[in-house]
């Protein structure tokens, strides 16, 4: 009987092929665990509004280069600068 071989080629692909980097409003590259500062007031549904100068610590990068996570909030990078 022939033995079935699982296709694991997707595991061997290099993830560094994507060139999309997360950058803040000023073009500075963001990394996970950075701190960012809001550059303008933002209205947020079901949460207190974000004021200019509010600091978000220990952000995480997402699959989308225009979005970052801070706790349970997903934020757009265009409204923040690296601290």
54 part of a folded domain: yes
4 part of a folded domain: no
44 part of a folded domain: yes
Q: Is 79 helix (H, G, I), strand (E, B) or coil?
A: helix
- Structural domain harbouring 51: 22-82
Number of domains in the chain: 1
pLDDT of 43 reads 94
Dump pLDDT digits (tens) for 39-74: 999 998 888 899 999 999 999 999 999 999 998 899
pLDDT of 12 reads 61
In this structure, what CATH number is given to the domain that contains residue 73?
A: 2.30.30.40
> CA-CA-CA-CA torsion for 71, 75, 79, 80, nearest 10 degrees?
40
Binned at pLDDT 50, 70 and 90, residue 17 comes out as very low
């Amino acid at each position: 009987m022939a033995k079935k071989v699982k296709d694991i080629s997707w595991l061997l692909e290099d993830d560094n092929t994507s060139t999309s980097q997360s950058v803040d409003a000023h073009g500075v590259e963001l990394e996970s665990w950075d701190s960012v500062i809001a550059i303008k007031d933002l209205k947020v549904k079901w949460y207190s509004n974000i004021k200019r100068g509010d600091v978000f610590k220990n952000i995480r990068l997402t699959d989308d280069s225009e979005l970052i996570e801070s706790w349970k909030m997903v934020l757009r990078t265009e409204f923040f600068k690296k601290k």
